[in-house]
Chain A
Amino acid sequence: MSILESVELAVKNIVSSKTRTFLTMLDIIIGVAAVIVIVGLGNGLEQYVTDSFSGLGTNTLTVTVMSRGSTRTLSVDDMYAIVDENSQYLDLCSPTVTMPGMVKIGSETVSTTSVQGVSEDYLDIAGVTVSSGRRLQYSDMANREKVCVIGAYLDQAYYGGNAVGQTLRVGGQSLTIVGVLAQQDDTLEEGGSDDCLYLPYTTASRIAGDVSSYIVTMREEDYIDESVAALESALYEVFASDDYYTVTSMAEMLETMTSMINILVGVLAGIAAISLVVGGIGIMNIMLVSVTERTREIGIRKSLGAKERYIMEQFVIEAACTSALGGVIGILLGDGLSAVASTVVTRLMEETLTVAPTLSAVALAFGISVGIGILFGYLPAKKAARLNPIDALHYD
Chain B
Amino acid sequence: MNQPLPPAALNSLRSGPSDRGRFGEFGGRFVAETLMPIVLAVEQAYAEAKKDPQFQADLAWHLTHYVGRPSPLWFAERLTKRLGGAKVYFKRDELNHTGSHKANNCMGQILLARRMGKTRIIAETGAGQHGVATATMCALFGLPCTVYMGATDVERQAPNVFRMKLLGAEVKAVTSGAGTLKDAMNEAMRDWVANVEDTFYIIGTVAGPHPYPMMVRDFQSVIGEEAKVQMQAAEGRLPDVAVACIGGGSNAMGLFHPFLDDTSVRLIGVEAGGHGIETGQHAASLTGGRPGVLHGNRTYLLQDEDGQIIEAHSISAGLDYPGIGPEHSWLHDIGRVEYVSATDNEALDAFQLCTQTEGIIPALEPAHALAYVTKLAPTLDKDQIILMNLCGRGDKDIFTVAAHLGVKL
| A associates with B | no
